[in-house]
Amino acid sequence: AQKVTQAQTEISVVEKEDVTLDCVYETRDTTYYLFWYKQPPSGELVFLIRRNSFDEQNEISGRYSWNFQKSTSSFNFTITASQVVDSAVYFCALRGNYGGATNKLIFGTGTLLAVQP
């Protein structure tokens, strides 16, 4: 079975603090893809990053960075110097190797990040 676990339900930080959102996944597929999406109060899911299972190189993009570790089945997301505009629900998602054109995402339950001014 495939599963994504985001153990942190809510996180509250003060602006300019660094914050890490945890994601642990389960899959038996050898090829899979991991994603992070941001959902502001408006409801639209905004794509942030995609990683392939065969590419464990970590990535930094501005204030965002991602730490992918296959050994612990984790794909954590860090925001450096958080800002009020970062306040949103963040979802980690997994897509297995279904074959064909099937493009199904398995989402975690999300982490609500509140950045206080």
Partner 1 sequence: ETGVTQSPTHLIKTRGQQVTLRCSSQSGHNTVSWYQQALGQGPQFIFQYYREEENGRGNFPPRFSGLQFPNYSSELNVNALELDDSALYLCASSLVTRTQGTQYFGPGTRLLVL
- Binding residues vs partner 1 (CB under 8 A): 4, 35, 37, 42-47, 50, 91, 93, 95, 98, 100-110
Q: Which is nearer to partner 1, 42 or 71 (CB)?
A: 42
Contact by Cβ (8 Å): 74, 57: no
Instruction: Give the three-state DSSP class for 112.
Output: strand
In the bound complex, what is the minimum distance in angstroms from residue 56's beta carbon to partner 1?
19
Q: Which is nearer to partner 1, 37 or 77 (CB)?
A: 37
Q: Which residues contact 11 (CB under 8 A, 6 or more apart)?
A: 19, 21, 111, 112, 113, 114
Q: Which is nearer to partner 1, 53 or 110 (CB)?
A: 110
